[in-house]
């Protein structure tokens, strides 16, 4: 019995660690995206990011001989999931980021944990304790604090905010589809398929919306590294880790980790001298972490019994 309990505790640690690492990558993605957008438009950036992710994941699946057959009846569900993310989500997020700063953009994305429990309750019948709900609210309050300036005002473009709010809505739809997919396939398979389908969705967008200038490729040395990082760490690694976390915690409890995105974005932006680390951001980070801890109380003792049993 003690060995079994220790094993369950270790599994719980791995689940939470996977969620945190995914947030580190996505927190940095706002910084990497801003760097690439100085040379490429969002549509081209996202398409190339998906190409890199698909090549990387295909290589991993081949090397480790992970050959999971996709059933034809599930292609519709994959198509819907990929329509939400990466297609619609990245369009909204990309053009939102062009009109806001990395920290503000990631802060709006932190609305996802507040909206997801409602959808999860309606579509997935997930249950939350009062402590979980209090943690969500406290954590989001911390995000709001991070977005205030010294005059207690928000500084963001309405156009950018509108695009980012659209990304929140489609992210919730993706969460619902992802939970269903994790019952059927492994995280790497799900991530690989959604990137392939998402890449196909973006092909006509690239031809219609993008005009590649010679200067775009002449400056490739300025953005190739952040672009590759977006593909490997964010579109491949983070999504695979996120699918694993979702399969264990469920949509509501997993999505609260989204509140860590603006925390990591603020830290990375400061370290890279993109944005200052203000007192409001420091206080907000502390509040976010405190709320996150509250929202996950009892999770490590109960997730195996309350949530779905995915494919290993």
pLDDT in tens, 120-155: 777 777 777 787 778 778 877 887 787 676 665 665
Give the three-state DSSP class for 148: strand
**What pLDDT score does 226 carry?**
95
Residue 253: both structure tokens together: 């409890």
**What pLDDT score does 298 carry?**
57
**What pLDDT score does 300 carry?**
40
Q: Which residues of the chain have pLDDT under 50?
A: 1-8, 299-310, 312
**What pLDDT score does 155 carry?**
58
Global pTM exceeds 0.85: no
Neighbouring CB atoms inside 10 A of 217's CB total: 10
For the stretch 56-93, what's the b/e string if a residue is b when 16 or more beta carbons lie within 10 angstroms of its beta carbon?
A: bbeebbeeeeeeeeeeeeeeebbbbbbbbbbbbbbbbb
The CA distance from 12 to 98, in Å, is 38
**Closest C-alpha to 114, from 84, 144, 92, 90:** 144
**Closest C-alpha to 286, from 124, 145, 173, 189:** 145
**What pLDDT score does 302 carry?**
41
């Amino acid at each position: 019995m003690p060995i079994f309990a220790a094993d369950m505790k270790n599994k719980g640690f791995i689940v939470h660690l996977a969620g945190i690492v995914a947030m580190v990558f996505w927190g940095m993605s706002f910084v990497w995206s801003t760097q690439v957008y100085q040379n490429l438009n969002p549509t081209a950036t996202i398409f190339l990011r998906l190409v890199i992710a698909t090549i990387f994941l295909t290589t991993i699946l081949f090397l480790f001989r992970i050959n999971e057959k996709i059933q034809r009846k599930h292609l519709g569900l994959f198509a819907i999931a990929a329509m939400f993310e990466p297609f619609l989500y990245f369009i909204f997020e990309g053009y939102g980021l062009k009109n806001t700063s990395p920290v503000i953009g990631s802060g709006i994305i932190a609305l996802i944990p507040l909206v997801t429990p409602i959808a999860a309750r309606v579509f997935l019948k997930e249950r939350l304790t009062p402590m979980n709900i209090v943690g969500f609210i406290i954590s989001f309050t911390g995000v709001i604090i991070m977005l205030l300036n010294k005059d207690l005002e928000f500084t963001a473009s309405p156009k950018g905010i509108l695009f980012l709010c659209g990304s929140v809505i489609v992210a919730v739809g993706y969460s619902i589809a992802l939970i269903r997919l994790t019952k059927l396939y492994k995280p790497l398979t799900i991530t690989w398929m959604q990137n392939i389908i998402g890449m196909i969705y973006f092909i006509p967008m690239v031809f219609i919306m993008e005009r590649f200038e010679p200067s775009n490729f002449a400056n490739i040395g300025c953005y190739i590294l952040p672009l590759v990082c977006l593909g490997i760490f964010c579109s491949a690694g983070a999504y695979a880790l996120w699918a694993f976390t979702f399969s264990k915690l469920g949509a509501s409890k997993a999505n609260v980790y989204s509140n860590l995105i603006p925390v990591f974005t603020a830290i990375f932006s400061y370290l890279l001298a993109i944005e200052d680390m203000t007192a409001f951001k420091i206080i907000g980070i502390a509040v976010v972490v405190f709320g996150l801890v509250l929202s996950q109380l009892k999770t490590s003792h109960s997730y195996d019994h309350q949530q779905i049993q995915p494919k290993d």
